[in-house]
Structure 1
Amino acid sequence: MDTLITVALVHMVVLVIPGPDVLLVSQTAVARSRRAALFAGAGVVTGIAAWAVLALLGIGILFQNFAWIHGVIRVAGGMYLLYMAYNLWRSSLGPTAAQHSPVVTPQGDWRAYRSGLLTNLANPKAAIFFGSVFSSVIPANSSTGLRLGVFAVILGLSVLWFVLVALGMSTAPLQAGYLRAKRSIDRVAGTLMAGFGTLLLASKD
């Protein structure tokens, strides 16, 4: 039980820290629709689940023995985030917010899900985090039941958090505010995405 509580607390802290995942779901909610944001959040959660499974299988050891794999993931992730930043900036240079509505220009369900999944998988820091948490918190000889319990805690908290983000950021007042300041918000979001991508490309770890 102590292990589950420790993992839950650490994962909750990591979830609420603003990063590419939260930024994507929030921006999708205010710019598109609640449905699109929920699908984007589902994509992010799928990525988190994948990293958690890989961590349980020992991805940290893999990175230690084959550092080039981490490097490839880091470069690919950085380039993908820069691509997203480019799209946000290009959108901000289009027609004014008054000419757009998040209801009549929804993001497709599959596209939203794919964006969430790729945004999470593009961040190798997630792999490092899960690898370090699992290796330091979970005993090496832990039972299958404990490992499944840890996975369930991580998955449950992730689902809860991104549902709350999608629902909260898709409210009418926030969408109306987005329409009034679409260009500025898209540019800020694009700049942050570019910053995340640049940090990944510049990182040596």
Structure 2
Amino acid sequence: METLLAIAALHIMVLVVPGPDVLLVSQTAVARSRRAALFAGLGIVMGIACWAGLALLGIQVLFEHFTWVHGFIKVAGGLYLLYMGYTLWRASLRPQPVHTSAGGVDTPSGDLRAVRSGFLTNIANPKAAVFFGSVFSSVLGAHSAPGLKLAAFVIIVALSAAWFTLVALGMSTARLQAAYLRGRRVIDRVAGTLMAGFGALLLASRE
């Protein structure tokens, strides 16, 4: 139990630190709808589940022996985040779109795009695999029981789902959406700059 609590505490600390995942869900919530933000959060949780599962399978060892794999994913991820920043800036230059409120109806294709954006934003950062790998190796150990590893995986996914659900619900309130409509251009440009900054930092990192 102490091991699982330690993993939960570490993961919570990482979740609440603002990053591209939180930025994407927040921006989607105020700019589009609560539904779209929830689907974006679902995509992020899917990415977290992939990285956590791969870490349990030992992807960190693969990164250590084949550094080009880690480098390729890092460059691709950095370029994707830069592209996301560019699309937000480009959107800020367009006329005011028709806003979908939190109670509105989105299309299935829009839901799919939100899931895809969330998944790609999370999977774009290979540091997640390194983090999970270091946590699992230091806290769980190489010879932990499969049941304990599965419990750790479930806790990570459940906490991630709960956190991004809270972000989506909190950021999609009518007051925040109205504030977004008033300052859409500035907000989109700030969000685009931050997203591009995350991408640039990822490209510049040596880890």
Class of the TM-score when normalised by the shorter of the 2 chains: over 0.9
Deviation for aligned residue 1:203: 1.2
Q: In structure 1, what residue type is equivalent to 2:125?
A: N
1:95 matched residue in structure 2: 95
Deviation for aligned residue 1:80: 0.3
- Mapping of residues 153-192 of structure 1, within 5 Å: 153-192=155-194
- Mapping of residues 78-89 of structure 1, within 5 Å: 78-89=78-89
Does the alignment pair 1:126 with 2:128? Answer: yes
Secondary structure at the counterpart of residue 119 of structure 1:
helix
Residues 65 and 73 (structure 1 numbering): CA distance in 2 closer, same or farther, change over 3 Å?
same
Residues 74 and 190 (structure 1 numbering): CA distance in 2 closer, same or farther, change over 3 Å?
same
Question: Would you say the 8 A contact 1:39–1:109 is kept in 2?
Answer: yes
Question: Would you say the 8 A contact 1:76–1:122 is kept in 2?
Answer: yes
Q: In structure 1, what residue type is equivalent to 2:189?
A: R
Matches of 1:41 and 1:117, distance apart in 2? 8
1:73 matched residue in structure 2: 73
Matches of 2:38 and 2:98, distance apart in 1? 21
2:143 matched residue in structure 1: 141
Matches of 1:119 and 1:194, distance apart in 2? 12
Deviation for aligned residue 1:105: 9.5
Deviation for aligned residue 1:73: 0.3
| Unpaired runs of at least 5, structure 1 | none
Matches of 1:129 and 1:179, distance apart in 2? 37
| Unpaired runs of at least 5, structure 2 | none
Deviation for aligned residue 1:62: 0.7
Does the alignment pair 1:11 with 2:11? Answer: yes
TM-score by length of 2: 0.95
Q: In structure 1, what residue type is equivalent to 2:127?
A: K
Residues 105 and 126 (structure 1 numbering): CA distance in 2 closer, same or farther, change over 3 Å?
same
Matches of 1:171 and 1:198, distance apart in 2? 31
**Count of residue correspondences:** 203
Question: Would you say the 8 A contact 1:82–1:197 is kept in 2?
Answer: yes
Question: Would you say the 8 A contact 1:32–1:105 is kept in 2?
Answer: no
Q: In structure 2, what residue type is equivalent to 1:68?
A: W
Give the share of equivalent positions with the same residue, in percent: 68
C-alpha RMSD of matched pairs (Å): 1.3
Question: Would you say the 8 A contact 1:100–1:179 is kept in 2?
Answer: no
Question: Would you say the 8 A contact 1:48–1:120 is kept in 2?
Answer: yes
Matches of 1:67 and 1:129, distance apart in 2? 16
1:28 matched residue in structure 2: 28
